[in-house]
């Protein structure tokens, strides 16, 4: 049985998906035992294959590349416990004029804020267009999402960093417990 998904990505990200001489596209097809068809004019990408889980994961990889992630980071989504979370920045701004300013709060001066969130949650963050994408393990993506949304809602950076410190400590405790008491 064949499964397929269609994903629309920005035209300027098509070259990144395809790679030099088609290398990225071919690599993704090989890893997922799938076929990727790209309509460069429209930005439509169709992924097809016989393994529904691999096709779903591949769709997420294509979506992540479309949202500004480097293909090597996007490929993490092919791992079992990794997820992509997309946040629409428009939901947090009263009008379009504030879009750049509010994205700047998440990025921070010289990328400091984004880097701090990534480091403390062990995730990857891409601020691209009107979205903010987060890739990582599901529990850590949830923490990073909360931190990003707090910044988008106007919370002071110091409060967000304090929240992240607490969550990092909680996650470490949980990992120790999981190690001692595997399910």
| Domain 82-180, CATH | 3.30.1370.10
Structure tokens at 63: 């979506």
Q: Which residues pair with 134 in a beta bridge?
A: 85, 125
Dump pLDDT digits (tens) for 96-126. 788 899 999 999 999 999 999 999 999 999 9
pLDDT at position 96, please?
A: 76
Can you give the pTM of this predicted structure?
Answer: 0.91
Dump pLDDT digits (tens) for 76-101. 999 989 999 999 999 998 777 888 99
Report whether pLDDT(71) > 60: yes
pLDDT, mean over the chain: 92
Report whether pLDDT(181) > 60: no
* CA–CA gap between residue 145 and residue 150 (Å, rounded): 8
| Domain 3-78, CATH | 3.30.1370.10
Q: 134 with 77: CB under 8 angstroms?
A: no
Query: Mean pLDDT across the stretch 158-175?
Result: 87
Report whether pLDDT(183) > 60: no
CA 160 to chain centre: 20
Report whether pLDDT(178) > 80: no
Domain boundaries, the chain: 3-78, 82-180
Going by pLDDT thresholds of 50, 70 and 90, the confidence category of residue 177 is: low
User: How is the beta sheet containing 34-39 ordered, strand by strand?
Assistant: 3-8, 44-49, 34-39
* CA–CA gap between residue 113 and residue 121 (Å, rounded): 12
More confident residue, 135 or 181: 135
Asked if 3-78 and 82-180 have one fold, the answer is yes
Q: If you write DSSP's letter for every residue of 5-50 in order, what string do you get?
A: EEEE--GGGHHHHH-GGGHHHHHHHHHHTEEEEEETTTTEEEEEES
Query: Mean pLDDT across the stretch 28-48?
Result: 94
Q: 145 with 136: CB under 8 angstroms?
A: no
């Amino acid at each position: 049985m064949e499964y397929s998904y269609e994903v629309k990505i920005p035209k300027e990200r098509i070259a990144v998906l395809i790679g030099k001489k088609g290398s990225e596209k071919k690599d993704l097809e090989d890893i997922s035992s799938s076929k990727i068809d790209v309509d460069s004019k429209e930005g439509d990408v169709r992924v097809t294959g016989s393994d529904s889980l691999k096709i779903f994961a591949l769709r997420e990889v294509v979506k992540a590349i479309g949202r500004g992630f480097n293909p090597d980071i996007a490929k993490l989504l092919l791992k079992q416990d990794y997820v992509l979370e997309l946040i629409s920045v428009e939901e947090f701004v009263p009008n379009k004029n504030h879009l750049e300013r509010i994205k700047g709060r998440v990025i921070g001066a010289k990328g400091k804020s984004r880097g701090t969130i990534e480091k403390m949650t062990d995730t990857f963050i891409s601020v691209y267009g009107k979205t903010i994408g987060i890739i990582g393990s599901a529990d850590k993506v949830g923490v990073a999402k909360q931190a990003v949304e707090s910044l988008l809602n106007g919370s002071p950076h110091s409060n967000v960093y304090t929240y992240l410190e607490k969550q990092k400590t909680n996650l470490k405790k949980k990992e120790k417990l999981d190690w001692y008491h595997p399910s």
